Structures are given as structure tokens and as C-alpha cells.
Chains A and B, each alone.
Chain A
Amino acid sequence: DTAVSQTPKYLVTQMGNDKSIKCEQNLGHDTMYWYKQDSKKFLKIMFSYNNKELIINETVPNRFSPKSPDKAHLNLHINSLELGDSAVYFCASSLRTARELFFGEGSRLTVL
């Protein structure tokens, strides 16, 4: 069983479209994250949820909206996609009291 799974793995779309990425973890963790990895491999945190509550919201355009229906799921919806949104988006999870992140395999978004 995959611990942190993301769908889709690849996403190619046109500018202006809206798309979603889904993430699920079966580790029993209470905290989930979205990270963006750009073409230079730089990883930047976007959002974090703890028990469905938003606890980290970095400077991200409001076209990006995370949603956590329960503590095992964290989705990312992106409106009006732009070329600069092209990146690999990683979901991760952890226990808030622990000190280790578990990553999904990433979702590569390409905006044409």
C-alpha cells in the first residue's frame, strides 16, 4: 500500500484552465502539506493542514485553494492556470509531534 498517494501523476493543460490534484495518506498522520518544486528543484511549502485546520499558508496566489475534507486527505485546486504554475507539486504528511515528513511521488503539472 502506498503511504502517501497523489493523483494525477502527470497533468498537461492550457493556460486559463482550472485543475485539481488529490492527495491521500494512510499513515494515520494528523498533518498534511503541499510543496511546490520548481524547475531548479527548489522546494517551497505552500500550505499545511493539521486535523483539517489550515496552519500554514505561505505567500501563494489566491488562485490556489487547498481543501482538507478529513485528516487523511488534502486536495489542491488551481484556478486560471498560468505558465509559471508549471512545476512538480508534492503532498506530504507527518504527525505534528514527530519530526519526519513522508512525501508522495509528486504531480507534474505542465501549463501550455
Chain B
Amino acid sequence: AQSVTQLDSQVPVFEEAPVELRCNYSSSVSVYLFWYVQYPNQGLQLLLKYLSGSTLVKGINGFEAEFNKSQTSFHLRKPSVHISDTAEYFCAVSLYNFNKFYFGSGTKLNVKP
């Protein structure tokens, strides 16, 4: 069975500070990895995805994530956050051979001035 764990339900951070949102997964088969962002009262938008190749993936809005197979992690980072980054962030995996997505419980990033 597959599962996705986001250890932090909330992350408060000051504007212009760096941030890391943690994601760990478990799966008995190969997976693809994703981060989605959800702004208030909106649907989810794709931030970035790891399918293969370089383990460091760059996404939109200055975010990046690193796939670590040995630690089964896919942590999201941004070197300097803005107020506008305040949102809910979801880590997700999909199976290599089947287009089914499993989502973590989300991390609310709260950027303070």
C-alpha cells in the first residue's frame, strides 16, 4: 500500500526567510512525486513533479524539491518566502504503472510580515 506523510500540519515563517516543507512516502513499487499548492477557496495547482532524472526538481514561484530514494523523502524548499506564498501545500505520489494519486494531509504555510 502507498502512503504519504507530511509531518508538519502548520509551518509559520517570516517573510524572506527560507522554508522547508517535509514529505515522506512509502510504497512497494516505483512512484512519481508531486507537490501541489492550494490557495484559499481555490483548487490545487501543480508546483513541481519528479518523474525521473535529476533528483533536484525546480518548480514555479521559486520552489524546488529533492527526491531522496534512500530516505523516501521529497521535501519542498524555498530560499526566501513571500506573503503571497501563504497557502496549503500537498505532497502526492502516483504509481509508476497506474495513474492514481495519493495525497498527504497537507501543510499550511503561514508567511508573516
Contact = CB atoms under 8 A, between A and B. Distances in A.
Interface string A92-108: 10101001111111100
Interface in B94-113: 94, 99-103, 105-106, 108
Interface of A: 4, 31, 40-45, 48, 56, 90, 92, 94, 96, 99-106
12 contacts: A41-B106, A43-B103, A43-B106, A45-B100, A45-B102, A90-B43, A90-B44, A96-B99, A99-B99, A101-B46, A103-B36, A104-B43
B25 interface: no
State the majority secondary structure of interface residues on B. strand
A41 to B, nearest CB: 4
Q: How large is the interface on B (under 10, 10 to 19, 20 to 34, 35 or more residues)?
A: 20 to 34
A22 B90 CA distance: 25
Interface in B63-113: 88, 90, 94, 99-103, 105-106, 108
State the majority secondary structure of interface residues on A. strand
B17 interface: no
A101 B44 contact: yes
B106 A42 contact: yes
Interface of B: 32, 34, 36, 38, 41-46, 49, 51, 88, 90, 94, 99-103, 105-106, 108
Nearest to B101: A101
Nearest to B33: A99
Most buried by A among B32, B101, B108: B101
A112 to B, nearest CB: 20
